[in-house]
Structure 1
């Protein structure tokens, strides 16, 4: 079963389980264990109470604030090409007060890192379940050394595949966490980030 068909089954199942209002909690976060999502492994789940210190840094982005609403930070490892052994690090930030929608954040330049600044600055404060990926590598927005001279698999991950698989996985994680499938899904990105969304949609309308 591939990730797309698994998401379709999961969406069908969880829609019947959903409450009229969906919300998260510390208890739900600490027992979070995404299941039946092919090629996806949970690496960590951390709960942040409202106004807790959120201090996260990677090569691409950082955030250091105490002004966020309560949310669960879910960290995933997604296999993007089993033959090549490649994977992407993806995060899904799940606010307690969920608006029933997901928002995926695209990376700018050739950056490889979860866009934690935007997850905390845009997604969570507005009630979105935020999704972001390192696109299969770790780097700053201007360091393209990971791509060459002929690292075609990494380029495919960065170009569209990691984002595409992360969106599908993020939707599935949100559906399991809230016991309710997302009603709508959005994407935010400019420059390279917008190009990735177009490539992902070309590959599949499930993105």
Structure 2
């Protein structure tokens, strides 16, 4: 997303007082935010290109502050050299909002950098398209909780499968707020009005066929931890 100013008050200056003070809520507020986000998303970076693409962007956005040649992997929280991108023993591009939940393989949502993170190849495969939520021992049809979610994943990660669906994945606690914010952004940003996009929403009943991600209650829980 490109804006003429990084100042929040300037960016949101087009919103009305009712939008800012909580008078407008729900569908009305989401429509206003969606229009603003779409209008400022002028520079769509290609997912893969011989020119600048998402690989290049992630080398900047997820760069290790302690290194000029490494990224920090989102679910592993360890550095990895830029040079191992796309290699099965290295890192790849994780869609925070999975492609199978409505992002697909084309359109601005596929390469939206608010929903892409550098991730360890194996841990990314472990997450697959599981929605974000902690394990629930009481859930019907739920399998055992694995923590950490993968041998290479950071402490505090969790994975749980369910009968008939892939199930839940809990990221490392220190990045849950960042990932929740990414999910909320995608739901506000995409309403299916643009070519090759779908209407994205968040719920406590995630469903692949309706492009509804989750788990809303868990995402709201970490919202208070944003800084």
Instruction: Provide TM-score, normalisation by structure 2.
Output: 0.29
Q: Which has the higher strand share?
A: 1
Larger radius of gyration: 2
Instruction: Provide TM-score, normalisation by structure 1.
Output: 0.31
Task: Select the structure with the greater relative contact order (CA < 8 A; seq sep ≥ 6).
Answer: 1
